[in-house]
Amino acid sequence: MKIEDVEVALQAARDRGIRIVRGPVFDWRNSSDPFRESELPAACNAVGALLLHHGKQGLARQEFKPEWIEELCAVTGATWPWLWRFIHGWDYGNCLSVTFTEKGKEKTTFDDTSRDANRLAIKWTKL
């Protein structure tokens, strides 16, 4: 899975009038009647955009179906670890890192997926 694939899904959601947010996968509230769900979500995050783009939004409608992550990985080609790192960057703004010692010096390496996801979230969630 590539960041560009996520951007395609985000653009498709935005083109349908769906607001892009950090946090909740979907906001199904109907703007005219908050107690009734709408056909399309009012808002979604990047995972929601991917689910919607691949016609899998039913996996996270009222609750998350247990198989949601496996199905999302299957249709997108993402691995579970990639998706987990992406979610940390998009939803939480965390750039994951690992600190280690090499030849007596402490070094830190940063995860590209979570960093790129955070940058993407900043770009797509601007008002």
Question: Residue ranges of the domains in the chain?
Answer: 3-124
Average pLDDT over residues 43-50: 93
- Whether the pLDDT of residue 9 is over 90: the answer is yes
pTM to 2 decimal places:
0.83
| Burial (Cβ within 10 Å: 0-12, 13-18, ≥19) of residue 41 | buried
Average pLDDT over residues 98-125: 94
Average pLDDT over residues 5-31: 89
- Whether the pLDDT of residue 127 is over 50: the answer is no
